[in-house]
Amino acid sequence: MKPDLPHVVGPGDALDRVNDYFYERGWTDGLPIVPPTEERVRAMLGGMPWRKADEVISTVPPKMGAASMHQIAVNTVMAGCRPEYLPVVVAALRAVSEPEYGLAHRQTTTHPGAPLIIVNGPAVAQLRINCGRGLFGPGWRANATIGRALRLILVNIGGAGPAVDASQTGHPGKYTYCIAEYEAANPWEPLHVERGFAQEHSVVTVVNCEAPHSMTENIQTDPDEIVRTFASSMATLGVNNLYSQGHPVLVLGIEHARHFASAGWSKRDVQRALFERARQPWGLVKNRGKSKGPRFPEFVDQSDDSSMVPIVREARDLIVIVGGGAGGKSMFLPTAGGQSLSVSKPIEAG
Amino acid sequence: MVSTAFAPLAQVVCEGIGHPCLPIVVVPHPVGDPDEALVRKRGEDIAKECVRVLTTPAETLAREFEGKRFPLPDTVMPR
């Protein structure tokens, strides 16, 4: 019996040559790609037969490259996607192309952000997008390749390769950054319903996020105390949201979500509590970080050092989703701030 | 006008907006420094080049900047 491990295959000259060629031209993310043969690209386009191959979905900055369905399919093949993932990739590209997202500056900024793709609706189960244990981690083809496809599109069609993307440090989510909401473990309405879509629709929400930051609370189960822990983790000096707010993301662990719901809290209550308590006093914030930036909130009284600065302009701006496995952890994902906001788009179904 | 750390980006933006030969004045990165005299000197150096590109015929500049490359300095991205 063969061991259950990857095994050696025959000489892969053609594969190696294609990979060397693509890598030398800066067309990859550094990882090997699936060669986009005509057959594979045609099969990929079969994932959206209602769209024509020469149809342009968006123009991608800074190179202002035309993202035709054909070009999208080439990059989606390279990423290792299955054809049924293509509508998710296209929805994500349409989302980042909306002005609120600010793709031109997200592609070229020094800020370490990457487009986080959050999937809601029936597509999560249909495509087996991980929303549970390890949702940000490896092991799931849909998560791994959908996010990677968007990255390759942004690099190859948009021209934001390593010499152009000025992100000072980047972050691992720039390889792939795709999760789903664990709707069955969410005691409230899921994100897409909160945003006005029908429960039975599949929707992509894209937010330009930094790396996820774990917030452990293994001891407290009282919502006020959990909020206290979260607020301390979220409103840290140096986090961009303290200076220009925006739409940061809270991925609420399933156990934490249960504690809130058991105590009668709604999602709105969680958002309101964190809007009120995830703050720092102006006296501590001033003359630091980006406090002299153009988007600093005008409602903060800068004549009063005790005036409190929130991480969002209003409660609903904090994106709250439920996800992950068993354990006492939730994740906070800061964003660049108000210059790049989240966008939701329906996933086309023909 | 950009610093060396952002020159390749500026070139891609120029190409993206349909002006691949747009003159780019490149200054050493970083522009900021606690020494005000040094910053002032940089400004004076840049001003001369700005005047030159603003007063040179566009056709001449197009020939000069066509295909010109501004590689990232090793201090930004060691190779």
First CA to last CA across chain A, in angstroms?
A: 45
Give the model confidence (pLDDT) of A52-76 as tens digits.
999 999 999 999 999 999 999 999 9
CA atoms within 13 A on the CB side of A21: 9
CA distance A71 to A153: 8
Q: How far is A64 from chain B (nearest CA, A)?
A: 5
Q: Which of A182, A146, A123, A216 is nearest to A325 (CA)?
A: A182
Q: Which DSSP letter does residue A332 get?
A: E
| Interaxial angle between packed helices A86-96 and A141-156, expressed in degrees from 0 to 180 and rounded to the nearest 10 | 50
Q: Is the pLDDT confidence value at A11 over 70?
A: no
Q: Is the CB of A166 less than 8 angstroms away from the CB of B5?
A: yes
Among B6, B16, B71, beta carbon nearest to A61: B16
Q: Is the pLDDT confidence value at A295 over 90?
A: no
To 10 degrees, the CA torsion angle through B25, B28, B32, B36? Answer: -90
Q: What is the arithmetic mean of pLDDT over A111-128? A: 98
Among B5, B17, B71, beta carbon nearest to A64: B17
| Band of residue A12 on the pLDDT scale cut at 50, 70, 90 | low
The predicted complex's ipTM stands at: 0.81
Report chain A residues whose CB lies below 8 A from the CB of B15. 63, 159
- Asked whether the whole model's pTM tops 0.90, one would answer yes
Q: What would the two tokens of residue A299 be? A: 């409602």
The chain-wide mean pLDDT, for chain A, equals 95
Q: Which of A75, A349, A332 is nearest to A213 (CA)?
A: A332
